[in-house]
Amino acid sequence: MGSYFAGRVFVEELAKQPDSAIYVFNRGHRPLGMIGITELVGDREQAEQIQRVIPAKEWDAVVDFCAYTPAHVKSLLDNLPGKIMQYIFITPPASIRKAGTCRLQKTACNFPARNLSSAAMQIMATTKVMAESMLQHTCESLGIAYTILRPTIIYGYYNYAPREKLLFRFAAQPSADNHSIARHGLVQFHLGRGYGAHDHALHR
């Protein structure tokens, strides 16, 4: 599930492994076109398409890069044909504030930011946490092993929507326009980001 950015890199790396059999399920808007990869076209939000398009097999692992809600997780687990041995859920970390405090209970929300309001970010973070909970409960009831991987932030090739787009846009402009970044009001804040070292506060 998901093959635009991190999912694509994952498929490219996995395809290097001999004897790997890889199936990719997405809406087909941007086919991988890689030899040895079976691409299945369908919409994960349509349960009927999950049932019809994905063949019934004993899946060693289902790797999901694009589940954002509990419904996404539940729908896939309920409708994917065949037997799932392990469900690997790739999802950004999320945090939920306790009312009236600024203390991070888990980790901070890590969604594509457009300076969302605090309330909006809390809603998104809550949805992500609920998706993880849905995964845990459903997998346990179905007897499926699961693993959750939470990349904090991913830099690299294939990033079609970089968070740093404002800065990148500046870099793409002609040299004569060096001061455009100032007009856009880029700021410098001393905020540590992404890769932390304070595990005592952050582990589950």
Partner 1 sequence: MIHETYQTAFNLASDELVSYSRIVESVGRDHGKKIEPVRLPAAEINRQGIPLPFPLEEHLLYSGAKIRQLFGIEYMPFKKGLREALKYYLMCRSSAALPPPDRPGDARNSIMSADLVLCNLGASDARLVGGARLDCPSGKQDTFMGAQDALGELSGPKTQVLDCQGGMVLPGFNDAHCHPIAFAMTQRYLDCSARQVGCISDIQAILRKQAGKAGKERWLRGAQLDATAIAESNALPNRWELTRRYPISRWYWWSDPASIASSTAALSRCGIDDSTLDSDAEMLGRDYYQR
In Å, what is the CA distance from 109 to each residue of 35, 80, 100, 168, 169?
A: 37, 29, 17, 23, 25
**Stretch of 47-55, 67-75, 76-84, 187-195 contacting partner 1, by CB under 8 A:** 187-195
Q: Which residues, 86 to 115, sit near partner 1 by CB under 8 A?
A: 86, 93, 102, 104, 107-110, 113-115
The full length of the chain comes to 204
**Stretch of 47-55, 71-79, 134-142 contacting partner 1, by CB under 8 A:** 134-142
Interface residue with partner 1 among 18, 29, 58, 143 (CB under 8 A) is 29
Q: Rounded to whole angstroms, how far apart are CA atoms 4 and 161?
A: 10
Residue 176 binding partner 1, by CB under 8 A: no
Q: Rounded to whole angstroms, how far apart are CA atoms 79 and 49?
A: 9
Do 69 and 129 touch, CB atoms closer than 8 A?
A: no
Do 66 and 39 touch, CB atoms closer than 8 A?
A: no
104: number of Cβ within 10 Å? 14
Residue 132 binding partner 1, by CB under 8 A: yes
Q: Which residues, 143 to 162, sit near partner 1 by CB under 8 A?
A: 145-162
Binding mask 36-65 vs partner 1 (x if CB under 8 A, - otherwise)?
Answer: ------------------------------
**Stretch of 49-57, 67-75, 76-84, 175-183 contacting partner 1, by CB under 8 A:** 175-183
